Structure formats: structure tokens, C-alpha cells
Amino acid sequence: MELDRRQFIAVGGAVVAAGGLGPATAAQADPGDHDEAGKHGAGPEGMWLPGDTHVHDDHSSDGSAPRQLSDQRDPGNLPVGDQIGYAEGVGLAFLPLTDHRTYDQHWDPQWTSSKLLLLTGEEVNGSPHAVVLGAVDTVVDGANPPGSAAFRHIQQSIWDAHAQHAVWSVAHPDDGEYTPATGPNDNASAQGVDVVELWNVSNNPDAEIEYAENRWNHGFRFGGVAASDSHFKELRPVSAPGRPTTWVFAAERSTRAILDALKAGRTTLSMGPDGPFVTIEADVDGDGRFEAIGGDEVVVRTDRLSKRAKLRIRARAAVGTKVLVYGSPGRSAGPLATFVPDRDEQTWLLPLTLRGAQSWYRVEVRAPGELSGREADPNLPDQLRAATSPIFVSVRQPAVPAPELNLPAPLGGDDRASLVLGESGDFAGFADLAVEGRVTHVVAELHRDHRSAVVYRRLDGEHDGHGEPIVLSDSSGTASSPRVVAAGDDVWVVWQDARGHERPHRPAIHLRHSRDGGRSFGSAVRLSDGRGRALHPAIALVDRTHPVVAWTDNGGGAFDVRVQVVGVDPAPVNVSAAGKVIDPGTPTDARSPRHPASLFPSVAVTPDRRIVVTWQDNRFDPDPGWTGHTPPPGEEASGGTNPDNWEIVAAVRAGTRSAWSGLVRVSNNDDAADRHPSLAVDRDGSLVVAWETKVLSPAGVNLSLRASRSTDGRTWSPAEPVAVDPNAMSQRPRLGNDADGAVRAVWYDSRSTDWRWKVFTSRRDSRTGWTPAVRLTTRGNGTWPAVDRGTVVFTGDRAATRTQRDATQQVFLIRG
């Protein structure tokens, strides 16, 4: 929706109505108005898309009925393709698969659809559960330090998701945050939640709505979602993807637009794709244009609204139900109005009056019949059939949460970070950099207008002029994961991009070259063949005219690492497939297929032009991709591993005319999940790799960093810790070199006293090893760092003006 800037201004993520508002009027239904409703002005622009936000398959430890009922002894019967196919059949437009504390479902060859927009998803955290949509990999739930408030790890999980511009949703709040008997617990004080499950059919929707009203009355601002929480195909169609349905009002049919709509709370819920459908809109200034819909916040500059201010309620397929309009404080005060539809499509207008400095308005549809949830009160005469997110109206300033437990005050202090990319309200992140002389080349992912672009900027020294940002991905709205290298005036940028085609998801790897120091770039060249999903590229230089690019690609079924020396190799080489055992499994057991994944490569080139690539690989796990395999008849279930036994491995090429070596085990640890490696060359020509590691426990344990060293890429030293704090989470390490060639690590870490993620660093000394951790950032959350020649870029939310509903993430730089 484009707001008329003469009437509205943006303040901290809210919509603010300018003056000229008249006196308030009494709130009552005007039955005679509904026939004329269509003559009132058009509302926001977009489309309603049906989907689900919480769906499981057999990648979850309890993914299907046979497994749950047999204590994991029987085969699974809920493969990824089955849930996707069902969702396609009932007409959903989008679907995530949100398996418990794992991301492995996305590496399953069946994770594809030409009809649905598949969102990445995960049901994260040990307790309470949450759902994260749109993250790039698993969001790990760490352990609280001794003496911390119970919700500290939840808050850090929210901030971690927001640093990826992902959606963080409270799963079944009546089983983690709230009970009707005792009210909210400590977990309910977490701030920045994007959406809350108002309707999870495995629980009690009325208790979930009661929780949401409690939080709205305490100044929390979020929309609602519906969740099938589907595990059992035997319960279809009562509990299945889309039963109930979350409808999102998206600006376009794309994954980014759907995620943005969820973050804005622009949702309405129905019992199914063809069930009762209801919306709420508001004309706050009485000009005849309904500028706000469910989920929106409107801030007015006076506590008196125009007599012409109205709510508009529209219902479809609701004959035989009651349509109830509620305003704050909610159901405890009774409905503002009740309508009984007598036509398939019907509209009503209701005068809008403020109900205090912080007001909200929403709609429910109810009818007798089947229970709305497994734990719903069977004595209720009317069960939930549809519901909207609220419209929030505030006087003079947006709402501020009033939690029972406050967050610690944020740290202050000057960390010398300067803004590089991103404006207020934008998301800019996942940055990389290359320092060449006095010039710093920065690339990042920029989300704006519901699209994702790869952006480059040249910085010409601390006191010199800087170039304007250049969009390298042209008009595409699906570009992400950029990396950059430079030598002299030659600059190379690589990224993944689906070029707007997301059904099915088939991003390819694209490369652009600048010969004039980043002032202009040649046309993009596609490196991958387009048969599968090509993801997470890495890049290094063999020499100034020959970059080497590595990425992961499932064009052959399982995800493998491809590497290409551009200008030398006629095609990419699969360096990870040798020795990998692929098993398509049997149709009678969803857990039987084996497609080990090789992911998140990092690449480096030594002074003698030895090319080394490292990646994470789960081929050594007893059941890669699963949380336990079906045992042979008569044997006990294995229990499996959760997470998988991911290991860091490597392959070596002695030069551009040589063949690649076989796989080399680097971390060689069967008792941990080792992930997200980063590789660099030390000043003596040796190789250093760092990664994050976690014991094989699904939640409640911390990530820490490990590193290993090699002189030839074939034999690696035993892993050594890097700046470990047992009470902190350390994740996503990136290695680079200082000006003297020594290897430096940067990562983001939870050990700060204000709970916020901070960027830390450690330098490897050839005699004494890794130095103690040093904190680089102070204000707000600092995440996803990269380093080169001692200069660091990172993602930060320090310019956000609210603890909720302000998505501002920008790229900052700290010079070495």
C-alpha cells in the first residue's frame, strides 16, 4: 500500500495519521451502511494468499503417527513430498515445513513444488516452542547463563531471526507462555515477536486468543497466524496443511512478500481455504479511503476522531455463523457489534471511536459444530471459524510493550562503526568485503519493496568520497548471499539468484566482474546449470583474472559442492560426490532414503596456487538427514542423532592443471554437529579453518568455535577452541587476514551483559594460538560479520527506534 504522505508519516514502523480529525462518535453498528460500503475508497493494494505456517513431516522426531505410537520403532509415513502434494491439492499458495529443531527437510530432494511458494521453516527452541520462517539455516536455541531470566534465550532467538529478516512466531502459546489459570509466565515478556499462533488446532484456540489479547493490552503489537501443526496424515482433513488456513495480504506472489506480510501482521485466519473468510479495515481520518487493514498500526495526533471514521467488516462464506467485532480490552468487555450474515458475501460499516490511548479492533467468526481445536472447550456453543489480526490505533505515539520482566538496558559507547548500506525501515545484511589498498569493496543483500537485491558499494578510504550503491542483480527480486574478492582494479562479485522464478525454487549462481575498481561492472555470467538449487557461493582468486567459485547444488539429487575456476574449467567440478552413498529408500518407509548433504562451502588459494575448499557434510551420520531410522524387525529403535553428525571436510587441488583430491576429514568428530566453516590462508602459507560446533543435543546447549590448521590441505591438526565462553553462544565465524597477513576470526556472540548479540574477534598467533575474545561492537545487536585486512562489516539494528515492528537492519563497517 502506498500511503498518502500528506496524511500519514512513518514513525518507527507505524502509520501516523496527520491532523484535521474531528470529534469522536458512539460505536454502534449501522445495518443500513453495508450496501453502500463498496462506494467507499479502495484499500491497500495486494492479494490474499492462503497457506499454513506450521507443518511437519518425517524429518521431525515425531513426524508421523506410526513413529509416535510405536516409540520410533515403526516406519514413517509422512515424507516431504506427501505434505507438499496435499497442500497443492487443497489450493494453498504457500507452505513451510517446520520440523523440530532441524533444517534438514530443505536438503531433501522432495522439497520442491511448481505450484506452491515453499518457505524455509523450522520449529525452533526447546521450551517454549517457536516457529521461524525465512531463515537461511537452523536457528540454534542456546542455554541461559546461570542466574539469567528464563526468557533470555528466547529473546536472543528472536534477535537472531530478525538479523536474517526472518519471521519469529510464538507456537501454541497456551503450551509455553500462558495458561488461563495463572496468566502469562516469564516467557511472555520476550519482545519483538512478529506473529502469534491464535489458532493451533492441536491446542485450545480460545486460550491462545486470550493470551494474545493480554499481550495487546500490554502494548505488544503482533498479528495472528493459524497452524495445522500437522503430523499425522491419518487425521486429514481435520488436521492437515491449510486446516486451519493463514491468509496473508501480500504485495505480490513471492516468498519475500509473504514474509513481509507476516511480519506486518497482515493476516486473517479461516478454518480452511474454503471456510468463512473475514477482513477488517479502517478509515481512521474519515476521508472515505480505508487505509488500514488487520495487522496495521495507525498513530493519530489527537484523541478525537472524525465522525466519519469507520471500520469496515467483510465476510464471505459465513452464512450460518455470527460475526463478532471486538475492541480493546477484548472479549472480557463483550463485542462491539454482532452480525448474522444472510448472504455469501456481505459488508458492514461500524463507527470508529477510540477506546483509550492504545486501542485495537478485530473480528471473529463463530458457529456451532466441530471443535476448533483438540483442547477447545466442548461446552462452548460457538466454536472459532475465522478471525482477523487487529487494527491498532494509538494516540500521538506507537505502543510500547509493558512486559512483566524488562530487558536489560542496551549498552552504549562508540565502537567507531560507520553506516555503509541500508536506510531506516530497510533490511540490509549478509555483507561481505574485500580491501584492496585504500579501497574497500562491500556487497550485501538489500530487502526493499518486498524484493531482495544484491548491492555493491565502493568506499575510497576513511576520509575520501565514496561511490553510490550499485544494484548488481538488476531487476531481479530474488538475489541473495553475495561474496566479493578484489585484486588491483579487478573486482568479482558472486551471488545466488532465481531471477524471480520461485515455483519451483531453482536459484543459480551468477558472477559479475569489474575492471575499473568497482566503478562499473560487466554483465552477469551464470555458472550453475539450472537443474537444481544452487546455493551459498564462496569465492577466492587464483590470480587477478581467474576467480575460483564454490557452491552447493542439488542438480544431481543430493546436495553436492561444485567448484569452478572461471576461465580455466569449462564446467564446474563436483568435488563432494565421490564416496557418498545415495539410497532412494523404499516407498513403505519415509525415513529410508539417504541423500547426504554437502553444504556451505568456503574456498581459499595458497601462495603456490593450491586451491582448497571446505564444507559441512553429514555422510558420516548413521542416518543422514533424519532423527532416527527405522530399525530392522526385532531390534530396538536407534534414536538417531539430532542434530546430525555434521563434519567439516575438505578437498584439495594442487593447481589449475591438477585434479581434485578425495574427501579429507577435518573436524573428524562423531559426537558433535560441526557447521558453517570459514577458510583462510595464514601469512606463512598454511591453511586455517574455523567453524561452529555443538554437542548432539537438539536444544538448550551453546554453540562454540573450533579451528584447525594444515600446511597442505590434506592433513589437519586436532581441533582447538577459539575464545570459548561456556555460558555464551558463538556462531557464524568468518576468517580473514590482517594487514600483516595473520589470520583473524570474527563472529557474533551472546556473552554481552545486555543480552544483545555482539561481534567479537580473535587473532591467531603462530606461537601462542588464538588470542582472547575482544568485543568489537557496542550498540544494539551486531551479527553476520566478515573481515578483511582487519576491517569488519556486520549487520546491525542500532538504528531501530522500537523493540517491536521495526525491521531496520543495516550494514556497518569498522576499519582496522
**C-beta of residue 591 within 8 angstroms of C-beta of residue 58:** yes
Residue 55 Cα to chain centre, angstroms: 16
Over the stretch 578-604, which tens digit does the pLDDT of each residue have? 999 999 999 999 999 999 999 999 999
CATH number of 175's domain: 3.20.20.140
570 contact partners, CB below 8 Å, separation of at least 6: none
Backbone phi, psi, residue 499, to 5°: 50, 40
Q: Is 731 left (phi over 0), alpha (psi -120 to 50) or beta?
A: beta
User: What is the pLDDT at residue 442?
Assistant: 98
Q: What is the C-alpha to C-alpha distance for residues 544 and 633, in angstroms, rounded to an integer?
A: 59
Residue 252 confidence (pLDDT) above 70: yes
How many C-beta atoms lie closer than 10 Å to residue 588's C-beta? 10
Answer yes or no: is pLDDT of 768 > 70.
yes
User: Which of 365-374, 455-464, 504-513 shows the lowest mean pLDDT across its residues?
Assistant: 455-464
Comparing 1-10, 204-213, 271-280, 562-571, the range with the smallest average pLDDT is: 1-10
The answer for residues whose C-beta is within 8 angstroms of residue 85's C-beta and 6 or more apart is none
| Among candidate residues 395, 413, 444, the one where a domain is terminated | 395
Across 437-505, the runs of DSSP E, i.e. the strands, are 439-448, 451-459, 470-471, 479-487, 490-497
Give the cell for residue 340: 448474522
Q: d(Cα 387, Cα 362) in Å, to the nearest integer?
A: 8
Q: How far apart are CA 307 and CA 20, in angstroms?
A: 12
Q: Cell triple for residue 281?
A: 479495515
> For residue 433, is it within any domain?
no
pLDDT(341) > 60: yes
| Cα–Cα distance, 401 to 189 (Å, whole number) | 9
Query: What's residue 630's pLDDT?
Result: 81
Mean pLDDT of 511-533: 97
CA distance 546 to 388: 55
Asked whether residue 209 carries a pLDDT value surpassing 80, the answer given is yes
- Dihedral sign computed on CA atoms, order 207, 208, 213, 215: positive
**What pLDDT score was predicted for residue 465?**
73
563 within some domain: no
Cell numbers representing residue 769 in the block: 594460538
How many domains are there within the chain?
Answer: 2
Q: How far lies 16's CA from each of 10, 191, 285, 298, 392, in Å?
A: 6, 22, 11, 5, 11
Tens digits of residue pLDDT in 90-129:
999 999 999 999 999 999 999 999 999 999 999 999 999 9
Longest dimension (CA), the chain: 85
Higher local confidence (pLDDT), 38 or 507: 507
Cis-peptide into 410, omega within 30 deg: no
Average pLDDT (716-737) is 97
Q: Which residue has the higher pLDDT, 39 or 81?
A: 81
> Which residues on adjacent β-strands are paired with residue 394?
299, 358
Burial category of 579 from C-beta neighbours within 10 Å (exposed 0-12, middle 13-18, buried 19 and up): exposed
Angle among Cα 536, 538, 541 to the nearest 5 degrees reads: 165
Separation CA 305–CA 298 (nearest Å): 12
Does pLDDT of 156 surpass 50? yes
pTM of the model: 0.95
237 phi, psi to nearest 5 deg: -95, 5
Among 395, 412, 438, which residue terminates a domain?
395
Q: Is residue 713 part of a domain?
A: yes
The label of the residue with cell 480529525 reads: 21
Choose among 708, 462, 484, 461: nearest CA to 470. Answer: 484
Only one residue has cell 549462481, namely 509
Of the pLDDT bands very low, low, confident and very high (cuts 50, 70, 90), residue 14 is very low
204 belongs to a structural domain: yes
Q: pLDDT digits over 669-707, tens only?
A: 999 999 999 999 999 999 999 999 999 999 999 999 999
> Could you tell me if residue 383 is inside a domain?
yes
Q: Is 32 helix (H, G, I), strand (E, B) or coil?
A: helix
Amino acid sitting at position 650: A
Domain holding 80, by residue range, is 8-395
> Residue 35: is its pLDDT beyond 50?
no
| Structural domain includes residue 34 | yes
Whether 33 has a pLDDT exceeding 90, the answer reads: no
Q: What is the mean pLDDT of residues 264-270?
A: 98
Give the pLDDT mean for 202-219: 98
Check residue 34 and give its pLDDT. Answer: 33
Q: What is the mean pLDDT of residues 299-328?
A: 96
What percent of the chain shows pLDDT beyond 70?
Answer: 94
Give me the pLDDT at residue 634, please. Answer: 75
Q: What pLDDT was estimated at residue 62?
A: 86
Report the alpha-carbon distance of residue 80 to residue 88 in Å, rounded: 13
pLDDT at 23: 25
pLDDT of 40 higher than 60:
no
- In this predicted structure, the answer to whether residue 638 has a pLDDT above a threshold of 90 is no
The residue count of the chain comes to 816
Handedness of CA 32, 34, 36, 41 (dihedral sign): positive
Looking at 395, 410, 432, the residue that finishes a domain is 395
Q: Which residue has the cell 551459498?
A: 536
- Residue 68 has a pLDDT of 87
CATH code assigned at 806: 2.120.10.10
Q: What is the pLDDT averaged over residues 254-276?
A: 98
Report the pLDDT averaged over residues 147-175.
97
Indicate whether 189 belongs to any domain. yes
Report yes or no on 446 lying in a domain: no
518 Rama sector, left if φ>0, alpha if ψ -120 to 50, beta otherwise: left
- Assigned C-alpha cell, 174: 497456551
Element (H, E) at 171: none
Question: Which residues face 293 on adjacent strands?
Answer: 281
Query: Alpha-carbon distance 180 to 330, whole Å?
Result: 15
